[in-house]
Chains A and B, each alone.
Chain A
Amino acid sequence: MAFTQTTQERAQEIISRYPHSRSALLPLLHLVQSEEGFVSADGIAFCADVLALTTADVAAVATFYTMYHRKPVGEYHIGVCINPGCGILGGDAIWSTLCERFGIGNDEVTEDGKISFERIECQAACTHAPVMTANWEFLDNMTPQSAVTVVEALQRGEEVHSSRGPRIPTFKDNELTLAGFDDGLVEFGGQADDIMLAGLRRAQELGQKAPEAKK
C-alpha cells in the first residue's frame, strides 16, 4: 500500500527528533502500524526508504519486537497476563474462559476482525492482578466474568474505559500515540487509583509521614 501524505510528513517529524536518524526506526514502525494495523512488506520498505536502510535491516528489527505484528490484529487487541503473578491469581482462568467464549486463541482474530487475543507477559501492574490490556490500556483486577463482559462490549463497539486510562482507543489510534503524536487523552483515568494510594492512605490513617529536612 502507498502511505498517505500525512504519514510521510509524520515520518519526517519523527526522524527530526533524533540526533541519528536510525533511532527513529521503532517509532516509525509504530507509525506504520497506525496506518496499516500491522507491519506489511510495504511498511518495511517504507521505513527502509525514509531511513536509507535496507529492507533486511528493517525486517530484522520489526520481527524482533512482539508489539509489531506481521498480520492484521483486531480493532481491539486483547492481552491477558499469564506471567505467574497474574496467571496464578486468575489470569490463566481468564485466558481459558475467553478462548472458549470467543473461539480464538493466541495471535488469532475473530471473524469480524474486531477482537484478537495475545498471551502477554508482565505489564508492571502486579498489584492490580489479574491484569488484562485492551490495545495496551490497563484493565485491572479482572475476573473471567468481567473479562467476557468487557470483550463482548468492545466487539459490539460499545464504549469501554480503561481502569487507569481513557476510553479504549482503537489499535491503530494507540499506535499513533506510541509513535509520539498527541491524542489529547492525557487527563483521563485519574491520577492514581486506590491500589497506587494504598500506602499513602495507610500512612495518613496511622499519622505516619516522612521527617522534614532541618532548615
Chain B
Amino acid sequence: MTLTPVLTAHWDEADSYTIGGYMRHGGYTAFKKAFSQGADETITLVKDSGLRGRGGAGFPTGMKWSFVPQNDGKPHYLVINADESEPGACKDIPLMLANPHALIEGIIIAAFAMRANHAFIYVRGEVPHVFRRVNAAIREAYTAGYLGKNIMGSGFNLDVVLHAGAGAYICGEETALLDSLEGRRGQPRLKPPFPAVAGLYASPSCVNNVETIANIPHIVNNGVEWFRSFGTEKSPGFKLFAVSGHVNRPGIYEAPLGITMRELLEHAGGVRNGHTVKFWLPGGSSVPMLTPDLLDTPLTYEDIAAAGSMLGTGTPMIFDETTSVVRAVAGWLAFYKHESCGKCTPCREGTYWISDLLHRLEEGHGTESDLDKIVELCGQIAGRSFCALGDAAATPFPAALKHFRDEFVQATTTPANDSFNPIAATVFAGATR
C-alpha cells in the first residue's frame, strides 16, 4: 500500500507552521464552505465520512458531535485533547509543531457545527515549543478575522483559549481533562452523564483529539467519497503512523488505514540491521503486544482487534530480540503506577502491587506463583475502575505472559539485565544508525 501524505503534505516547507504557509495550500477555505452549507449539514458530512477518533478509542467523530444537544439554550464547549502522553504515541505533538493551523481551522468548523462559541486546547505542559506554535497560530487566526466575533460576517462567534497542563498522563482521559481544565485535580468522572450532556462547567461539551480535528478541513473540502477512498469500510481515511523502536528510520509515515505493519516497517527501513522483530505494539503501551507472525495484519480498528490487540493511537513500537520483555513490561507498569490518579482503589493499589512484583522479577527474584498472582491482580483492576487507565494497566502483562512465559519463569532466578545485555538494545550499541 502506498504512502499518502495529506496532513503531512507540506511539512517540508520552512513556513508550514505559519498562516501564510497554511493558506498557500488551500488553508482556511474549508471553514467558509462549512459556514455556507450549515451546521447540521456539516455534522452529517462528518458522520457520513466515517471518521473515527484518532486519540485511541476510535469512536465515530460525527456521532460524538451529534450527541451535543442543540437549541438547549446552554453554552456549548469544544475541548481539544492535545495531552498526547500515551507511551509510544508521538503524532499530535509533531502535527502541532509543523502545522497548528490545520488544528485551528478544524476547531472553527467543529465549533460551528456543534454551536460552540468557546473552544479550549488542552496541551500537555511539557512541550513549551508546541505551546508557542499553537499560541502563535491562534493569534494569527484572530488577526485574520477567522476567530473572534462575527467571523467573516457569518454571525458566528468563536474564542479559542490555549491551556497548558502540568504533568499528568491521566488528563488525556476526557473527563479527567475536563476536571483539570476546571482547575481541579485531574481525576476521571463517573459516566454517565457523558460530556455531551454535562461536560465542561456541567454544560454540553465535546472532547476531540488533535489529529481527528485536523482531518476535518480535508473532509469538508474534498468530500465523503474522497475520504472513503482511503482505508476500509469500518476504518476510513488516512492516519499518522508514528513508527518507533528498533527500526532503521523511525518517523511519521502517513498512509491509509489498512496498510500492514510489514509494509510500514519496510517504509521505515526495516528492523535494525542484523536483528529480528521480537514483539510490537500497534498503538501505545495500553494495547496488547503482538508477535512477528502478525506483521501482515492490516492496521485497521477491526483487523487489529481480531488479531487480539487494539489500534489505539496507531503509533507502532517495534522491539527486536535484544529486548527483555520482562524489563519492558516492568517499565510500563511502573508508569501506570506513577500515573494512576488514585481515585479508584483497584487501580491505585493494583498498579502498586503489580509494579512491585514485576520489579522484583526484573531483578531476578520471585516465584512462578507470582506470575499467577499478577494475572489475578490484573483481573481485579480491569473493568473495576472509572476510566481506561486501570484497564490499560491490566493489559501489558497478560499479553506478554502469553507469548513469553519462559522468559518470565527465567526472571524468577535471573535478572533481566543478565539475560539480555541492556547495552545491546540501545541505539548507540554500535548499530547502524
Say yes or no: B97 contacts A192, CB within 8 Å: yes
Say yes or no: B90 contacts A26, CB within 8 Å: no
Say yes or no: A185 contacts B132, CB within 8 Å: yes
Report if A65-B168 is in contact (Cβ < 8 Å); known contacts: A165-B129, A199-B3: yes
Query: Could you tell me which residues of chain A, from 85 to 134, have a CB within 8 Å of some CB in chain B?
Result: 85, 87-90, 92-93, 120-130, 133
- Give the contacting residue for B87; candidates A83, A93, A185; CB below 8 A: A83
CA distance A164 to B168 in the complex (A): 23
CA distance A179 to B131 in the complex (A): 10
CA distance A45 to B127 in the complex (A): 27
- Shortest distance from the beta carbon of B128 to any chain A beta carbon, whole Å: 5
- Give the contacting residue for A196; candidates B11, B183, B268, B331; CB below 8 A: B11
- Give the contacting residue for B90; candidates A67, A93, A124, A188; CB below 8 A: A124
Tell me whether B59 is interfacial, beta carbon within 8 Å: no
Tell me whether A214 is interfacial, beta carbon within 8 Å: yes
- Shortest distance from the beta carbon of A26 to any chain B beta carbon, whole Å: 5
Say yes or no: A20 contacts B201, CB within 8 Å: yes
Residues on A with beta carbons closer than 8 Å to the beta carbon of B196: none
Name the residue on B nearest A21 (C-beta): B183
Q: Quick check: which of B102-110, B240-248, B293-301, B403-411 contacts chain A, the rest being far away?
A: B240-248
Say yes or no: A84 contacts B332, CB within 8 Å: yes
Q: Quick check: which of B13-21, B42-50, B302-310 contacts chain A, the rest being far away?
A: B13-21
CA distance A208 to B21 in the complex (A): 22
Say yes or no: A162 contacts B135, CB within 8 Å: no
Residues on A with beta carbons closer than 8 Å to the beta carbon of B89: 122, 124, 126
Residues on B with beta carbons closer than 8 Å to the beta carbon of A126: 87-90, 242, 244-245, 250, 315, 317
Say yes or no: B128 contacts A137, CB within 8 Å: yes
Tell me whether B367 is interfacial, beta carbon within 8 Å: no
Name the residue on B nearest A82 (C-beta): B331
CA distance A182 to B140 in the complex (A): 13
Tell me whether A70 is interfacial, beta carbon within 8 Å: no
Report if A125-B182 is in contact (Cβ < 8 Å); known contacts: A84-B327, A186-B136, A213-B221: no
Tell me whether B111 is interfacial, beta carbon within 8 Å: no
Tell me whether B249 is interfacial, beta carbon within 8 Å: yes
Where chain A touches its partner, the secondary structure class is: loop
Say yes or no: B183 contacts A93, CB within 8 Å: no
Total CB contacts across the A-B interface at under 8 A: 282
Say yes or no: B338 contacts A121, CB within 8 Å: yes
- Shortest distance from the beta carbon of A130 to any chain B beta carbon, whole Å: 7
CA distance A49 to B341 in the complex (A): 27
Residues on A with beta carbons closer than 8 Å to the beta carbon of B57: none
- Shortest distance from the beta carbon of A165 to any chain B beta carbon, whole Å: 4
Say yes or no: B5 contacts A199, CB within 8 Å: yes
Say yes or no: B425 contacts A88, CB within 8 Å: yes
Residues on A with beta carbons closer than 8 Å to the beta carbon of B169: 121-122
- Give the contacting residue for A121; candidates B85, B131, B165; CB below 8 A: B85
CA distance A23 to B230 in the complex (A): 40
Sort chain A's interface into a size bin.
Answer: 35 or more
Query: Could you tell me which residues of chain B, from 1 to 59, have a CB within 8 Å of some CB in chain A?
Result: 2-6, 8-9, 11-17, 21
Say yes or no: A191 contacts B14, CB within 8 Å: yes
Name the residue on A nearest B83 (C-beta): A124
Tell me whether A172 is interfacial, beta carbon within 8 Å: no
Say yes or no: A136 contacts B254, CB within 8 Å: no
Residues on B with beta carbons closer than 8 Å to the beta carbon of A123: 126-127
Tell me whether B72 is interfacial, beta carbon within 8 Å: no
Say yes or no: B161 contacts A17, CB within 8 Å: yes
Say yes or no: A122 contacts B8, CB within 8 Å: no
Say yes or no: B132 contacts A186, CB within 8 Å: yes
Report if A192-B94 is in contact (Cβ < 8 Å); known contacts: A85-B87, A88-B323, A200-B11: yes
Say yes or no: B238 contacts A122, CB within 8 Å: no
Say yes or no: B2 contacts A199, CB within 8 Å: no
Query: Could you tell me which residues of chain B, from 195 to 235, have a CB within 8 Å of some CB in chain A?
Result: 201, 221-223, 225-226, 229-230
**29 contacts across the A-B interface (CB closer than 8 A):** A23-B181, A25-B183, A26-B166, A26-B180, A61-B183, A64-B168, A85-B317, A87-B331, A88-B331, A88-B425, A90-B427, A120-B126, A121-B85, A121-B335, A122-B335, A124-B85, A125-B90, A126-B250, A166-B129, A169-B128, A178-B128, A191-B97, A196-B251, A200-B254, A206-B2, A208-B2, A208-B4, A210-B230, A213-B223
B-binding residues in A (CB < 8 A): 17-20, 22-27, 29-30, 51, 60-61, 64-68, 79, 82-85, 87-90, 92-93, 120-130, 133, 135-138, 141, 143-144, 162, 164-166, 169, 174, 177-180, 182-183, 185-186, 188-192, 194-203, 206, 208-211, 213-214
Of all A-B residue pairs in the complex, the 7 with the closest CB atoms, nearest first, are A198-B251, A25-B183, A199-B253, A65-B166, A213-B222, A66-B167, A67-B167
A-binding residues in B (CB < 8 A): 2-6, 8-9, 11-17, 21, 75, 84-90, 92-94, 97-98, 118, 124-129, 131-133, 135-136, 139, 161-169, 180-186, 201, 221-223, 225-226, 229-230, 238, 241-246, 249-255, 267-268, 285, 315, 317, 319, 323-324, 327-328, 331-332, 335, 338-339, 341, 422-423, 425-428
